[in-house]
Chains A and B, each alone.
Chain A
């Protein structure tokens, strides 16, 4: 354990002839988990903006189809008189999902918060493999370039197979004329994201198993760390399948193999050279990764929310072990439910029954988690800080996202709502109203640790209030659209008589979506100004128990200026053993006691 007190800044300036080389090794190709975490945070927040703007493009088309987009339309699509072309619409929703999933949610949870928090919360000076950690960030850049260039390689006509890239649409180039090599670049990009995630997950597992501070038993780990640990396991076991499938699809596209292309197709008046494959194989391989990936996108958020809620309820987390077991349960069941994305795919309908039962059961650990969060809030002394409001909204919104999942888990009901906006509502409630809100909460919560300064509370609450209102205005009506059968991914749903009367509701949703994206300006301003001129704070501004709060804010290279020793779990708020309402993990008990577990 390092005993240096110098911050990353001091470390760099400590050398008399601190030059460009030092700057690069400290801030660019850094091996410090905190710098890497911040690199992930800044990159993913920028991509979050890109993904949000792509979503506005989709919303514009659904509200006012084929009408020129004001101001920016003529710049973006001068050829079509400011209109979104159907080709560009498919690219829009493909890239919105790709950016949000692969460049925002997964890397902001595992890459930004996982990197920043794991060593600090377990009392380690850094990750187990710092160089590997650095590489995991820099392997994102080829992905940024490849997927970014797939957007521009043939203007207005990029990868358009959806983020799921189902063959044969994605496997036979003739099926998407004019998109050139966009789909190929997209697949290569996803492969690099996969390599980056794999490096990260190996590192997280090793660090959490090997580098915990003395006294930090597994059942004294904060929920954030448990969720990151189980997420890393999910990544490590599921990801190779996607990588393999990605290479198979690349070979189908480039070399002419036929893994996913069956015999006898006539695509766009041309005959694919290969054959003998099966398109459903891709769906199985893809969802074998991408269903666990759904939990990779929510479990760390659940962990962080548990920590935030317990801290601001000033009360121990209700049911710590059931919370750990339910995360493990979600992860375990997560491997045997991928088929619920494929109920209507042409997969053997008998399998639908098995997958339905497993899928129903996965609602169980989710319910246990919700009940325990409610139990944590019960009987506390709640402080309505900005991070707490975001964490509470996670619980409130996750209830909606969880309950709507039961509809589509039920196979007969899924026959009707599959591929409709009911599904879109469901996963936006889980991923935006759930995970993204939790991420906002986590940024407000750990910001003082990252930068030594607070974000503005008033601006934070304004940001929360309007985001909460607008997100519900945007996503809640999607349930109603889904009930009418309104399909996803249609450039012009009003082409169908059945859906023509839904346009006014879509316009309302688009107005809310514009409001939701606009209000993020408040967040961006608060975030950037607070880095430089927020109120300075000490080590533990919130009065929290876990180990990251005993390190300096921001922690220097090596994190801790003394060796932390852990005496108890992280949720001892309101403990009768001490006078203060919190009881840090490293504070020795009043009288000398053997190291026993108190939770």
Chain B
């Protein structure tokens, strides 16, 4: 029976790796034909500049952990097969451990793990810390107090269970009569760095754009900024990724990425169809 159980444990790395590889390559069982699951069981299409880096880091960790997964899995299989008490005629290795080995398998993972941590930091800073600038300010240096941040393209407010959007209108200021109010229908221009201010009216939500690899919890009482640059046009999902109540599942928005021209035409159209606008557009645009 020892052989049977060893092979059962060998199946863990073999099938485990197979599932990941076949999902990544659209092979069976993720090939989309009959007797299989639909294809595209992998990272969804990435349409952002920053997402490429995140996907690269994901692949990097996948390779690294995959190698350790296979190595430890095979070691476990081999030890179980080789040292099965019914077959193994050799005496038991009466040992309490090896100081050298302990040092080796402490230091090597420590170095690797610290490397992974440090290797990730730049991508994290780009995603969450280095907010895009309009200009570096009079002193000509980035990262100083006089940096001028890129103003947000729009403000997104989460509430049970919808995303309320507010574009500042022609005057580029929020809270003025020419603000454009929308629900769940987010449009942004392609190939431009976009900053969005996110807030919540009631409970926690999380603003998740799977295709942009962007996620940020929206916290009541806090105003936060997220940014991305889309490289492809199309329509994508906006997902709420933090439990916000019974209707959490239906808090769905749509992200439309389009050319600058299309975006401006759409924005003007939305402005004109908005009943509450008191001023004709020409007056606002001066």
Residue of B nearest to A569 (CB): B96
Cβ of B90 to closest chain A Cβ, rounded Å: 8
Which residues of the partner chain B approach A383 to less than 8 Å between Cβ atoms? 85
Interface string of A410-454 (1 = CB under 8 A from B): 111101111110000000000000000000000000000000000
B276 to chain A, nearest CB (A): 19
Whether A360 touches B114, Cβ cut-off 8 Å, given contacts A344-B216, A412-B127, is: yes
Please tell me if the beta carbons of B121 and A353 are within 8 angstroms of each other in the complex: yes
Tell me if A349 and B220 are in contact (CB < 8 A).
Answer: no
Contact assessment for B97 and A320 in the assembled complex, using a CB-CB cutoff below 8 Å = yes
- What is the CA–CA distance of A496 and B184 in the complex, to the nearest angstrom? 13
**Residue B106, interface by CB 8 Å:** yes
B245–A176 CB distance below 8 A: yes
**Which B residues are in CB contact (< 8 Å) with A493?**
249
Within 8 Å CB of A319, what residues of B? Answer: 96-98, 101-102
Residue on B nearest A418 in the bound complex, by CB? B215
Residue of B nearest to A85 (CB): B246
A residues in contact with B237, CB < 8 Å? 496-498
A573 to B94, CA, bound (A): 8
**A175 and B97 within 8 A (CB):** no
Complex contact B37–A320 (CB within 8 A): no
Q: Considering the chains assembled together, what is the distance between the CA atoms of A125 and B37 in angstroms?
A: 58
> How many A residues touch B, CB cutoff 8 Å?
120
Interchain CB contact under 8 A, B95 and A318? yes
Q: Does B280 contact A (CB under 8 A)?
A: no
Residues in A459-473 with C-beta less than 8 Å from chain B:
465, 468, 472
Quick check: is B284 within 8 A (CB to CB) of the other chain?
no
- Asked whether any CB of chain B lies closer than 8 Å to the CB of A395, the reply is yes
Bound Cα distance from A479 to B217, whole angstroms = 22
B53 within 8 A of partner (CB): yes
Beta-carbon contacts under 8 Å, B98-118 to A: 98, 101-102, 105-106, 109-110, 113-114, 116-118
Q: Are A479 and B160 in contact (CB under 8 A)?
A: no
A74 touches B (CB below 8 Å): no
CA distance A336 to B18 in the complex (A): 36
Q: Which residues of A contact B110 (CB under 8 A)?
A: 361, 364
Q: In the assembled complex, which residues on chain B have CB atoms less than 8 Å from the CB atom of A487?
A: 208, 239-241
Residue contact B91 to A492, C-beta cutoff 8 Å: no
A496 to B95 alpha-carbon distance, docked (Å): 57
Residue of B with least CB distance to A501: B38
Chain A CB within 8 A of B277 CB: no
Contacting residues, chain A, for B41 (C-beta < 8 A): 480-481, 483-484, 502, 505
Q: Which of A254-270 contact B (CB under 8 A)?
A: 262-268
B102 touches A268 (CB 8 A): no
> CB-nearest residue of chain A relative to B240?
A487
Complex CA distance for A495 and B221, rounded to whole angstroms: 29
Q: Does A19 contact B (CB under 8 A)?
A: no
Stretch from A106-114, A244-252, A400-408 forming part of the interface with B = A400-408
Q: Tell me which of A37-45, A206-214, A297-305, A369-377 binds B.
A: A369-377
A480 to B15, CA, bound (A): 13
A90-B248, A346-B222, A384-B84 are contacts. A484–B243 as well, Cβ < 8 Å? no
Q: Does B247 contact A (CB under 8 A)?
A: yes
Query: Which of A381, A477, A495 contacts B88 (CB under 8 A)?
Result: A381
The answer to whether A364 touches B106, judged by C-beta atoms less than 8 angstroms apart, is yes
A505 and B42 CA atoms in complex are apart in Å by: 13
* Least Cβ–Cβ distance between A412 and chain B, in angstroms: 4
Q: Is A382 an interface residue (CB 8 A)?
A: yes
In whole angstroms, how far apart are the Cα atoms of A244 and B6 in the complex?
49
Asked if B243 contacts A279 (CB within 8 A), the reply is no
**Shortest Cβ distance from residue A430 to the other chain B in the assembled complex, whole angstroms:** 15
CA distance A377 to B83 in the complex (A): 8
Question: A399–B72 contact, CB under 8 A?
Answer: yes
* Stretch from B132-140, B185-193, B198-206, B264-272 forming part of the interface with A: B198-206
Q: Are B109 and A363 in contact (CB under 8 A)?
A: yes
Alpha-carbon separation in the docked complex, A344 to B15 (Å) = 33
Are A168 and B202 in contact, with the CB atoms below 8 A?
Answer: yes
Query: A561 CA to B9 CA in the complex, in Å?
Result: 42
Instruction: For A175, list chain B residues within 8 Å (CB).
Output: 160, 202-203, 245
Smallest CB separation, B249 vs chain A (Å): 4
Chain A residues within 8 Å of B222, by CB:
262, 280, 346
Known: A90-B243, A480-B41, A504-B38. A381 touches B85 (CB 8 A): yes
Beyond A380-B83, A407-B61, A489-B243, is A415–B213 a contact (Cβ under 8 Å)? yes
Q: Which residues of B are found within 8 Å of A264, using beta-carbon distances?
A: 221
Give the shortest distance, in Å, between A512 (CB) and chain B (any CB): 13
Contact with B along A40-52 (1 / 0, CB 8 A): 0000000000000
Q: Is the CB of A412 within 8 A of B203?
A: no
- Beta-carbon contact of A489 and B250 below 8 Å: no
- Whether A599 pairs with B96 at a CB distance below 8 angstroms is yes
Given the known interface contacts A90-B248, A483-B42, the answer about A410 and B120 at a Cβ–Cβ threshold of 8 Å is yes
Shortest Cβ gap from A394 to chain B (Å): 11
A131 to chain B, nearest CB (A): 40
A378 within 8 A of B: yes
**In the complex, chain B residues whose CB is within 8 Å of the CB of A277:** 221
Shortest Cβ distance from B85 into chain A, in angstroms? 4
Q: How would residues 307 to 329 of chain A score, 1 for a CB under 8 Å from any chain B CB and 0 otherwise?
A: 00000011111111110000000
**Nearest CB to that of A312 among chain B residues?**
B85
Q: Contact partner of B93 among A380, A418, A484, CB < 8 A? A: A380
Partner of A357, one of B8, B88, B114, B219: B114
CB distance from A49 to the nearest CB of B (A): 26
- Within the complex, which residue of B96, B128, B215, B248 is in contact with A416, where a contact is CB–CB below 8 Å? B215
Set of chain A residues within 8 Å of B183, measured between Cβ atoms: none
Give, as a whole number of angstroms, the nearest-CB distance from A51 to chain B: 19
B79, A378: Cβ atoms closer than 8 Å: yes
CB-defined contacts of A384 to chain B, threshold 8 Å: 1-2, 5, 84-85
Contacts of B160 in A (CB 8 A): 175, 267-268
Task: Please tell me if the beta carbons of B249 and A349 are within 8 angstroms of each other in the complex.
Answer: no
**Are the C-beta atoms of B243 and A418 separated by less than 8 Å?**
no
Q: Which of A166-190 contact B (CB under 8 A)?
A: 166-169, 172, 175-176
Please name all residues of chain B whose beta carbon is closer than 8 Å to the beta carbon of A418 when the two chains form the complex: 215, 241
B201 touches A314 (CB 8 A): no
Residues from chain A with a CB closer than 8 A to the CB of B120 are 356, 410-413
B23 located at the interface, meaning its Cβ lies under 8 Å from any Cβ of chain A in the complex? yes
Known: A320-B96, A370-B72, A412-B124. 5 other contacts (CB 8 A): A168-B202, A263-B221, A356-B121, A381-B85, A484-B42
Q: Which B residues are within 8 Å of any A CB, using their own CB?
A: 1-2, 5, 8-9, 12, 15-16, 19-20, 23, 30, 37-38, 40-44, 53-54, 57-58, 61-62, 64-65, 68-69, 72-73, 75-76, 79-80, 83-85, 88, 90-98, 101-102, 105-106, 109-110, 113-114, 116-118, 120-121, 123-125, 127-129, 159-160, 201-204, 206, 208, 210-211, 213-222, 224, 236-237, 239-250, 252
Q: Which residues of A contact B (CB under 8 A)?
A: 85-87, 90, 160-162, 166-169, 172, 175-176, 262-268, 277-280, 313-322, 344-346, 349-350, 352-353, 356-357, 360-361, 363-364, 367-368, 370-372, 374-375, 377-384, 389, 392-393, 395-397, 399-400, 403-404, 406-407, 409-413, 415-420, 465, 468, 472, 476-477, 479-481, 483-485, 487-493, 495-498, 501-502, 504-505, 508, 571, 573-576, 581, 599
A to B CB contacts below 8 Å, 11 in the list:
A90-B245, A168-B220, A315-B92, A361-B114, A377-B79, A381-B83, A406-B65, A415-B128, A493-B249, A502-B38, A574-B93
